[in-house]
Amino acid sequence: MSLFLLKTLYGLLKILNSEKSPSQLSAAVAFGMLMGLAPLSSLHNLFVFLLVCLFRVNLTMFFLSWGVFKILAFALDPLFDWLGYILLVDFKALRPLWIEVTSGPIWPYFRFNNTIVLGSLVFGLIAWVPLFWGAQSAVHAYRARWRESLKNSKLLATLKATPFYGWYEKYQSFMERMSVLS
Amino acid sequence: MIRWKFFLSVLVLLAVIAWILTFRLDSWVKNALESGISAVTGTKTDISGLEISLRNSSLQIGRLEIASKKEPMENVIELSQIIVDFQTLPLLEKRFIVDDFSVKGIQWGTKRRASGVLPPKPMQEDSWFGGISDKAFDKLQAEYNELPVSQLTSFAIPDNLDEVLKRLEFPAIESFKKIASDAQESKLAWAQRVKEVADLSDEKNLIQEARKLTKDLPQDPQEIAKRVQQIQSFIGQLDEQKSSYEKLIGKVREDYESAEKMYRSADSLVQQTYKQARSLMGVSALDTSFMLKVIFGSQWVQYAHETIRMQNELRRILSHLTQGSDEGVQIYPRSKGRDIIFVTPRKRPAFVLAKSDFSVNVLEKGERTEINQKYSLSLKHINSAPSLYGKPMEAKVNAMFKEMMVSELDALARWDYTKAEPRDFYQGEIKRIRASSWPVGIPKLFPLEISSGTADAKINFDFQGSNLSWRNVVQFRDVKWNFSDVPKAGVLVPILEKVFSDLKDFSVEFTLTSRNQALDFDVQSDVGELIQSGVKKYLEQKVSDLDRRVRGAIDRRIESSKMAAAQELESFRSEMMNSLNSKIAVVDQSKLQLKGLSSEITQKARGAAEEKVKSRLREELKKNAPSLPKLKF
């Protein structure tokens, strides 16, 4: 578990230290959040993933963000359930919309009538823009203030000395080749 | 900005994955069906094969086995093939509409390769279809356990007279003895009292005194009159004496009456001893009113418990289809979150089987041409959201069986879950049930059986909300009872055997109703009275001779003390009364004598007074004659 965390941390630092566009990284964080918060079986996740594939979104950061927000989602499920219930049941003005998106062909498979699916989607959509801007500002700030000092730090040197670094390098080069395809 | 190549390659990859997954669809549906049916039955369900054809809009299920709850290595039912024709387009709306439904090859009680037991489920929370009905049945069972069933086999009549007499109490003997001794004591006390009140010599003295007064009478009438007055006072004394005797007679009578009362109460104690003897014979202690419940009800209650449990499980599942509030939404809890269904005119249930009629013929195992079971099933309005569908679900079954436990079954089941309060209604008629399969008696305790005969049963089961009304009427015909396994201890079993040999055609009615989360169970039969009176009659015959002998023995034992008490009482009464009456007679006689003497000297006083007046007149005439005027005549 600690090795995994070590690897994740190293990957994160590697991406942050690279010359990737901050908007690509922040979009990956935001899309990862949108997909991570929703239940895995939600059909709209497929469309989110296709969007990620379609736009130049950093895949490493996307999967990293997805994993982090997936863990967070377990704790946030009661909040999504509450939000979804308010939107579906208590907020009667929206009811015609929900009736529309839960009936008719194909729509029922999206399960927007489920409190957690809808609650997490709405929460994710609302949080998408602030998170995108927040992540972008954070990447900018990191690169301006801490990148150089961290590059020369003992922590990074120790991380590079581990055998996992070699494996990670291979994985990273594979992901880079994948991005070349695009 | 847009990476088309990567996007298209991912899209192709996803399409390939989706195509591969369609091959797994059959297996997913199979697993879902197996676990769904297992949830309802509580036992393992196996499907050997399932094939979905979207092109032909059909679903084929091959060999569906549902394991038996009682026998883990047996199937309760095995269906060779089920074919479901459905509509494809509603699937896009996540709806499963069944057009037609057919079943081939039904077999009961087939062997299983693996055990059909499922791991136990976690305890349900208390609800009518959770623990409450179980508790109500436990209470009912506890009431059953309190019935004096052991009396049926342990009841015995003693045959030794001395044994009975030894165990008897005779309070009457003591009472009679006490009455006799009390009467003796009273007699003595009264004799003393009478003596104290007056002595007969008093009367004699008075008469002598009066006689003396009549002798040597003075010439003076006033003196004589004084003596008369004296005699009159004697008569007054005698009157007082008489009235005191009369008062004593009253008191003696009172004492006698209270003693007589005690005698009567002692006599009633004899009746008590008779009753005690009777109870020792056990007849009065024998309660036969519970027999109907014991004979017909005990096993039926267990069967009813199982039925209600299954019904509750069905209701739990069906109720899941109707959860919701009155705000035009239905809320279904899921493993993640809640599904909200909006009740609108447009909204329709996800699963509908509007109408389906089919029949199945089951062939003999050996003879493939002989039909031994025939089923016809009609399903109506079977759906996954009754409140959206608005019509109660209905199933009609007609089944005919050849040389089986039952000959014909005709049943209607209606599940109305369209409203907030669900209603389950079953009505049915089962004809020519083998009476030998009908559970009677209590296993081990009173293992009574029916060896032959038939029975027709009518069932009416109405379970609305938490109000249950279940009525079963069973008409038995040509029944023969089997007492061979019933322990022959006691006298009651042979008597019951005799009584039951006459019970051939009869009906039994079972009613089970719920009231305030409790169950009320009753068994009624046209033979209830007959059984009770028959048992009593045979028992009376058995004990009448012993009863007569015991009564005679009790009478003999009590007789001497009873006689003594009666004699003492009679002697007390007669002696006291005679004594007092004789005294009164003496007083009356004395009074007569005194009256005679009184009148005698009164005459004398009158004569003396006349003489005195005459002599005075003469004297006065002589003295006053010269001064009187001379009259010329």
Question: From the CB of residue A139, how many other CB atoms can be counted at a distance below 10 Å?
Answer: 22
Cβ separation B336–A114 shorter than 8 A:
yes
pLDDT of the residue at B282: 64
Q: Which is nearest to A43 in space by CA: A103, A102, A110? A: A110
pLDDT of the residue at B515: 73
Cβ separation A55–B5 shorter than 8 A:
no
DSSP sequence for B327-375: SSEEEEE-SSSEEEEE--TT---SEEEEEEEEEEEEE-SS-SS-EEEEE
Cβ separation A113–B2 shorter than 8 A:
no
Query: In chain B, what residues touch A55 (CB-CB under 8 Å)?
Result: 1-3
Cβ separation A50–B10 shorter than 8 A:
yes
Cβ separation B14–A46 shorter than 8 A:
yes
Q: How many CB pairs under 8 A join A and B?
A: 90
Query: In chain B, what residues touch A177 (CB-CB under 8 Å)?
Result: none
Query: In chain B, what residues touch A102 (CB-CB under 8 Å)?
Result: 342
- Helical segments of chain A, H only: 2-17, 22-37, 44-54, 59-85, 95-102, 115-145, 147-151, 154-161, 163-181
Cβ separation B6–A104 shorter than 8 A:
no
Partner residue opposite B3 with nearest CB, options A39, A56, A117 = A56
Range name among A65-69, A156-160, B178-182, B210-214 with the lowest pLDDT average:
A156-160
Give residues with Cβ within 8 angstroms of B556, minimum separation 6.
none
- Which segments of B181-229 are extended strands (E)? none
Q: Confirm if B473 and B484 have CB atoms less than 8 A apart.
A: no
Range name among B309-313, B362-366, B484-488 with the lowest pLDDT average:
B362-366
**Measured distance CA(B76)–CA(B65) in Å, rounded:** 8
Cβ separation B3–A55 shorter than 8 A:
yes
Res B17 pLDDT > 60:
yes
Residue range A142-166: mean pLDDT, rounded: 74
A28 to chain B, minimum CA–CA distance in Å? 14
Mutation target to probe the B interface, by most B beta carbons within 10 A, among A95, A101, A174, A178 is: A95
Q: Is A70 helix (H, G, I), strand (E, B) or coil?
A: helix
Taking CB atoms within 8 Å and a gap of at least 24, the contacts of B556-561 are: B557/B165, B557/B170, B557/B173, B558/B170, B558/B172, B558/B173, B558/B176, B558/B270, B558/B273, B561/B172, B561/B173, B561/B176, B561/B177, B561/B180
A103 to chain B, minimum CA–CA distance in Å? 7
Res A164 pLDDT > 70:
no
**Measured distance CA(A151)–CA(B520) in Å, rounded:** 83
Using an 8 Å CB-CB cutoff, list residues of chain B that contact chain A: 1-7, 9-11, 14, 92-94, 325, 327, 329, 331, 334, 336-342, 344, 346-347
Q: Which is nearest to B304 in space by CA: B464, B187, B463? A: B463
pLDDT of the residue at B60: 92
pLDDT of the residue at B172: 86
pLDDT tens for B565-614 read 888 888 888 888 888 888 888 888 888 888 888 888 888 878 888 888 88
From residue B519, how far is each of B48, B140, B514 by CA, in Å? 43, 7, 4
More confident residue, B161 or B58: B58
pLDDT tens for B531-574 read 888 888 887 777 787 788 888 888 888 888 889 888 888 888 88
Cβ separation A54–B337 shorter than 8 A:
no
Query: In chain A, what residues touch B329 (CB-CB under 8 Å)?
Result: 88-89
At residue B126 the predicted structure's pLDDT band, cuts being 50, 70 and 90, is very low
Q: Which residue of B has its CA nearest to A46?
A: B14
More confident residue, A9 or A115: A115
The overall average pLDDT reported for chain B is 82
Give residues with Cβ within 8 angstroms of B566, minimum separation 6.
B263
Give B106-127 as a 3 state SS string.
EEECCECCCCCCCCCCCCCCCC
Mutation target to probe the B interface, by most B beta carbons within 10 A, among A54, A63, A83, A122 is: A54
List the end-to-end C-alpha distance of chain B, in Å, as a whole number.
200
Q: What are the two backbone dihedrals, phi and then psi, of residue B50, each rounded to the nearest 5 degrees?
A: -140, 135
Cβ separation A105–B93 shorter than 8 A:
yes
Tokens 């054809």 correspond to: B53
At residue B327 the predicted structure's pLDDT band, cuts being 50, 70 and 90, is low
Question: From the CB of residue B512, how many other CB atoms can be counted at a distance below 10 Å?
Answer: 24
Which two tokens mark A57? 């979104």
Cβ separation A113–B93 shorter than 8 A:
no
Q: Which amino acid is at A112?
A: F
Query: In chain B, what residues touch A109 (CB-CB under 8 Å)?
Result: 94
Question: From the CB of residue B209, how many other CB atoms can be counted at a distance below 10 Å?
Answer: 14
Range name among A6-20, A38-52, B202-216 with the lowest pLDDT average:
A6-20
Q: Is A57 helix (H, G, I), strand (E, B) or coil?
A: coil
Mutation target to probe the B interface, by most B beta carbons within 10 A, among A115, A123, A179 is: A115
Res B24 pLDDT > 60:
yes
Partner residue opposite B327 with nearest CB, options A55, A89, A179 = A89
Give the CB-side neighbour count of residue B205, counting CA atoms within 13 A.
7
The overall average pLDDT reported for chain A is 84
Q: Which residue of B has its CA nearest to A98?
A: B342
Partner residue opposite A88 with nearest CB, options B9, B14, B340 = B340
**Measured distance CA(A6)–CA(A158) in Å, rounded:** 11
Residue range B298-307: mean pLDDT, rounded: 83
More confident residue, B387 or B255: B255
B350 to chain A, minimum CA–CA distance in Å? 10
From residue B626, how far is each of B617, B630, B631, B632 by CA, in Å? 15, 9, 12, 15
Mutation target to probe the A interface, by most A beta carbons within 10 A, among B2, B3, B336 is: B336
Query: In chain A, what residues touch B336 (CB-CB under 8 Å)?
Result: 39, 77, 114, 116
pLDDT of the residue at A7: 66
- Which segments of B216-370 are extended strands (E)? 329-333, 338-342, 351-363
Question: From the CB of residue B434, how many other CB atoms can be counted at a distance below 10 Å?
Answer: 16
pLDDT of the residue at B369: 62
Which two tokens mark B77? 């039912």
Partner residue opposite A113 with nearest CB, options B7, B93, B341 = B341
**Measured distance CA(B355)–CA(B347) in Å, rounded:** 20
DSSP state of B2: B
Query: In chain A, what residues touch B331 (CB-CB under 8 Å)?
Result: 89
Q: What ipTM is given for this predicted complex?
A: 0.79
pLDDT of the residue at B535: 81
Partner residue opposite A109 with nearest CB, options B3, B94, B334 = B94
Say how many residues make up chain A: 182
Partner residue opposite B92 with nearest CB, options A53, A81, A105 = A105
pLDDT of the residue at B110: 85
Query: In chain B, what residues touch A57 (CB-CB under 8 Å)?
Result: none
Taking CB atoms within 8 Å and a gap of at least 24, the contacts of B536-543 are: B536/B283, B536/B288, B538/B495, B538/B498, B538/B499, B539/B157, B539/B283, B539/B286, B539/B491, B539/B492, B539/B495, B540/B283, B542/B157, B542/B491, B542/B495, B543/B157, B543/B278, B543/B281, B543/B283
Q: Which residue of B has its CA nearest to A73?
A: B336
Give B419-433 as a 3 state SS string.
CCCCEEEEEEEEEEE
Q: Is B89 exposed, middle or buried (0-12, 13-18, 19+ CB in 10 A)?
A: exposed
Give residues with Cβ within 8 angstroms of B510, minimum separation 6.
B296, B297, B300, B304, B470, B471, B472, B473, B474, B521, B522, B523
Q: Confirm if B209 and B234 have CB atoms less than 8 A apart.
A: yes
Cβ separation B340–A117 shorter than 8 A:
no
Containing B189, the helix (H) or strand (E) segment is helix B171-197
Describe the crossing of helices A2-17 and A163-181 by its angle, rounded to 10 degrees.
50
pLDDT tens for B168-177 read 888 888 888 8
Partner residue opposite B6 with nearest CB, options A111, A116, A181 = A181
Q: Give one word for B98, left, alpha or beta, with left for phi > 0 and alpha for psi -120 to 50.
A: beta
**Measured distance CA(B273)–CA(B276) in Å, rounded:** 5
Residue range A105-111: mean pLDDT, rounded: 89
* Partners of B46 in beta bridges: B65
